[in-house]
Amino acid sequence: MNNPSPQGLTLAELANRLGARLNGDGERIVTGLATLSEAGPDDITFLANKAYLKYLADTRAAAVLLHPDHVDDCPTSSLALANPYLGYAELSHLFDPLAARNVPGIHPSAVVSDQATVGEDVQIGPQVVIEDGVWLGAGVIVGPGSVVGANSEVGEASRLHANVTVCHGVIIGKRAILHSGCVIGGDGFGFAHDGQCWHKIAQLGGVIMGDDVEVGSCSSIDRGALGDTIIEDDVKIDSQVQIAHNVQIGEHSALAGCVGIAGSTKVGRHCMLGGGVGLSGHLTICDGVQVTGMSLVTNSIHEPGVYSSGTGAMDNAQWRKNAVRFKQLDEIAKRLVRLERASRRS
């Protein structure tokens, strides 16, 4: 399915925006973006993975964004770029239907405190609540039903989709994207036990998010217990991720869906955590670490690289046999030590 651009863009305009080399008619107008196999004569498409090269010869697209190596194989106009997937990422924004709906103004049903500061060209949707002391930078968009708590800041050109909750005392940088249902700055999971019941610990810190951070739907980033939870620049967080109090995430890191990070753990820069990864509390993960999906990390990692835990899926009968062996590993190890000692004595 393509995403139409009502105005249309010429291939020359697109090539200029992307810094691509145009092969074909620069005056040709395209109005949509689609896949190689689904594109029509008014669409532009892209080839970023060689696995889809088989669809290139039969594409009906007006033009294809691709690597220079594939220009001669293209049956239509092309825009050649060294990194066509990065070009596609930029191209996608030109055909985003949300952009056409960005009309500055405050909906009549919104509740905006007289003590809030609202920058130029801000859009505040229906049923939004903006509390005392809030600062919204220029071009901020706050979607329907969202709440921005007292004394929080949202940097310029940031977007809160529908039903986002930003709690009190949260600082969000520029160009952030917060998807529906996420909660930024809720209480951390802090309780003291007296031997019979739990006593809540007031969470007195906040959350500080850098520029260009994106948070997926229904994810939670808890406020710090005393200091702040810190999410640095260009961190990308998928849906249903839980980040506990006082966690720090280094810049340019990415967390896939259902990651869970316990309190006070520090994740370095340029790290990638696969889906379902769990990090125990009070750990340090150095820069450049990749943890594969469903892994559990219980110790700090001090060397960059790829780390995994657990076992991959296998036939259940085989897994049950292996599970028995897991329970025997300690005894097997002890027996091996005894045999090695006996061997050395003989």
Going by C-alpha positions, the residue among 159, 168, 182, 175 that lies closest to residue 133 is 168
Q: Collect all residues with Cβ–Cβ distance below 8 Å to 166 and sequence separation of at least 6.
A: 146, 147, 148, 149, 152, 154, 160, 172, 178, 184, 185
Distances (CA, A) of 116 to 148, 151, 158, 159: 10, 8, 17, 18
> Are residues 219 and 182 in contact, defined by beta-carbon separation less than 8 angstroms?
yes
Angle between helices 11-18 and 84-94 (to 10 degrees): 120
Query: Tokens at residue 338, please?
Result: 């005894």
Contact (Cβ atoms closer than 8 angstroms) between residue 234 and residue 252: yes
Catalytic residue among 67, 93, 179, 245: 245
The reply to whether 245 belongs to the active site is yes
Q: CA 21, CA 10: separation in Å to the nearest integer?
A: 14
State the Cα–Cα distance between residues 71 and 59, nearest whole angstrom.
14
HSE-up of residue 95 (Cα within 13 Å, Cβ side) = 22
Say how many C-beta atoms besides its own lie within 10 A of residue 247's C-beta: 25
In a 13 Å sphere around the CA of 236, the CA atoms on its Cβ side amount to: 9
Selection from 195, 198, 206, 214 nearest residue 157 by Cα: 214
Q: How many CB atoms lie within 10 A of CB 176?
A: 24
Q: What angle do CA 153, 144, 246 make, to 5 degrees?
A: 40
- The set of catalytic residues is 245
